């Protein structure tokens, strides 16, 4: 071969090789298409709440599939993944954010939400859960309280994924993120004593032993929405607990302003975050009032019932279809959240709960949004650092 032709041959060969490599990089690793989890186009409103109750989640569509098994941690690293700042998160002062796993790409609409996420997502995607864990951990949140509608429902499947991804978070960043369940008492598969007993037995057997399930003083913790709503009685809850947890090996926190529930439950929390205190400029007095009530109960009954103070960035459910008695708690460019946090910490709570990480329908989210960007995660970080000392 003549030398010029040889050079042309070599150059041509290299160009072909580069073209092939470029084409390979542009080819997706998998042709599998993710099927978004279905959710009703219109959230299903529940009954009108009693004073202080705000929680009206849209009804997820049952999937009928079993809970996701909890594999061991498999470290993976995204090139764009933010670093998690080191902190002592031994959960001596837990910060838990209410968390919702029913969204898909069709969920996001300004007609039903006051704001939209900075990045629209499917709740069941591992990449979504990883991002949310990274953001929450980076803001000092120690766990989620994940809305739960029954065994086999997509909220159950996605909770299993959440625990598995928390294992990955710890493997990568040494950040121990532990989550609990928000037992949605009005859900169709939970709305009778027998259904509730069956569901709680399932939760106990499937999740309570996980190292990524929230424990307090060695006991797994559950949160219950509105235990006395829709005709439920304290006597029914006494019977349920006697069947499920007669020796109180778990901790049950009730959403209520009624301290009578402490005869069955181990503490109270306010999903509403005591919003009337924000409206009336009496937030410190509201939170301290609940702290005082629980202190008084503990003194009389020689117990250690738990006060979980709630914080809220704002609220706006005016776009939820067919909802009555809607209202707005203005965000005031972060001032509402600052007031809420100051009042919560000032009441010396055992735990702090955030309403919410991503309740977009009710406009009470701190997840990065189109309007506010990372403002509320940044504020959360400042207060968790103060709270954790």
pLDDT of residue 63: 37
pLDDT grade, residue 60 (50/70/90)? Answer: very low
365: confidence class by pLDDT, cuts 50, 70, 90: very high
Q: What CATH number does residue 255 fall under?
A: 3.20.20.80
What is the arithmetic mean of pLDDT over 286-304?
A: 98
In the chain, the percentage of residues whose pLDDT exceeds 90 is 76
Residue 245 placed within a domain: yes
Q: Is 7 inside any structural domain?
A: no
pLDDT at 40: 29
Cβ burial, residue 147 (10 Å; 0-12/13-18/19+): buried
Report d(CA 376, CA 111) in Å as an integer.
23
Q: In the predicted model, is pLDDT for residue 168 greater than 60?
A: yes
Is the pLDDT score of 51 beyond 80? no
Number of domains in the chain: 1
The span from the first CA to the last CA of the chain, in angstroms, equals 77
What is the pLDDT, as a whole number, of residue 44?
32
Q: Has residue 277 been placed in a domain?
A: yes
Instruction: Report yes or no on 21 lying in a domain.
Output: no
Confidence of residue 249 (pLDDT cuts 50, 70, 90): very high
- Does residue 226 register a pLDDT over 90? yes
**Could you tell me if residue 368 is inside a domain?**
yes
pLDDT value at 257 more than 60:
yes
Check whether 216 has a pLDDT greater than 70.
Answer: yes
Tell me the pLDDT band of 92, cut-offs 50, 70 and 90: confident
Looking at per-residue pLDDT, the higher value among 44 and 372 belongs to 372
> What is the structure's pLDDT at 91?
59
- Say whether pLDDT at 74 is over 60: no
What distance in Å separates the CA atoms of residue 354 and residue 315, rounded to the nearest whole number? 12
Residue 389 pLDDT: 81
Confirm if 185 and 225 have CB atoms less than 8 A apart. Answer: yes
> Is 16 a domain residue?
no
| pLDDT given at position 143 | 98
Average pLDDT of the chain? 83
Q: Determine the structural domain holding residue 243 and report its residue range.
A: 39-77+92-388
CB atoms within 10 A of CB 335: 12
- pLDDT (average), residues 279-307: 98
**374 has a pLDDT exceeding 60:** yes
pLDDT digits (tens, 9 = 90+) for 113-164: 999 999 999 999 999 999 999 999 999 999 999 999 999 999 999 999 999 9
Higher pLDDT pick, 148 / 39: 148
The C-alpha atoms of residue 155 and residue 234 are separated, in whole angstroms, by: 27
**Exposure b/e, 152-168, CB count within 10 A at least 16 = b:** bbbbbbbbbbbbbbbbb
Q: In angstroms, rounded to a whole number, what is the distance separating the alpha carbons of residues 145 and 20?
A: 48
Is 23 part of any domain? no
Q: How far is CA 104 from CA 108, 128, 338, in A?
A: 8, 11, 31
Whether 49 shows a pLDDT value over 80: the answer reads no
Cβ atoms of residues 170 and 73 within 8 Å? yes
- Virtual CA dihedral for 298, 355, 78, 374, nearest 10 degrees? -130
Residue 83: what pLDDT?
55
Contacts of 289 (CB under 8 A, 6+ apart): none
What average pLDDT does this structure show over 65-82? 39
- What's the average model confidence in pLDDT over 84-110? 83
Judge whether 65 lies within some domain.
yes
Reported as a single tens digit per residue, the pLDDT across 315-355 is 999 999 999 999 999 999 999 999 999 999 999 999 999 99
């Amino acid at each position: 071969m003549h030398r010029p032709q040889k050079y042309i041959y070599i150059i041509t060969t290299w160009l072909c090789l580069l073209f092939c490599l470029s084409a390979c990089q542009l080819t997706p690793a998998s042709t599998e298409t993710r099927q978004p989890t279905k959710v009703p186009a219109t959230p299903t409103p529940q009954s009108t709440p009693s004073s202080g109750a705000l929680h009206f989640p849209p009804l997820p569509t049952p999937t009928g599939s079993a809970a996701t098994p909890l594999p061991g941690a498999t470290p993976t690293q995204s090139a764009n993944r933010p670093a998690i700042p080191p902190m002592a998160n031994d959960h001596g002062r837990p910060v838990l954010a209410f968390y919702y796993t029913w969204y898909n790409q069709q969920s996001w609409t300004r007609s039903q939400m006051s704001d939209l996420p900075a990045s629209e997502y499917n709740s069941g995607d591992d990449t979504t859960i990883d991002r949310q864990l990274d953001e929450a951990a980076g803001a000092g949140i120690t766990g989620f309280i994940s809305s739960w509608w029954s065994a086999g429902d997509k909220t159950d499947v996605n909770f299993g994924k959440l625990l598995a991804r928390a294992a990955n978070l710890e493997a990568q960043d040494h950040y121990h993120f532990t989550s609990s369940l928000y037992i949605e008492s009005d859900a169709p598969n939970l709305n009778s004593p027998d259904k509730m007993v069956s569901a709680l037995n399932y939760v106990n057997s499937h999740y309570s032993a996980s190292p990524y399930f929230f424990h307090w003083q060695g006991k797994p913790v559950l949160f219950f929405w509105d235990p006395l709503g829709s005709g439920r009685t304290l006597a029914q809850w006494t019977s349920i607990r006697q069947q499920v947890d007669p020796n109180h090996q778990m901790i049950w926190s009730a959403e209520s302003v009624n301290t009578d529930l402490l005869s069955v439950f181990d503490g109270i929390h306010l999903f509403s975050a005591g919003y009337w205190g924000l409206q009336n400029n009496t937030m410190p007095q509201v939170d301290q009032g609940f702290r005082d009530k629980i202190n008084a109960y503990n003194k009389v009954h020689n117990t250690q019932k738990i006060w979980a103070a709630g914080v809220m960035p704002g609220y706006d459910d005016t776009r939820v279809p067919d909802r009555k008695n809607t209202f707005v708690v203005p965000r005031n460019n972060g001032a509402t959240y600052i007031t809420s946090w100051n009042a919560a910490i000032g009441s010396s709570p055992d735990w702090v709960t955030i309403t919410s990480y991503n309740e977009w329908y009710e406009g009470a989210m701190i997840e990065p949004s189109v309007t506010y960007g990372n403002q509320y995660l940044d504020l959360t970080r400042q207060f968790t650092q103060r709270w954790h000392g």
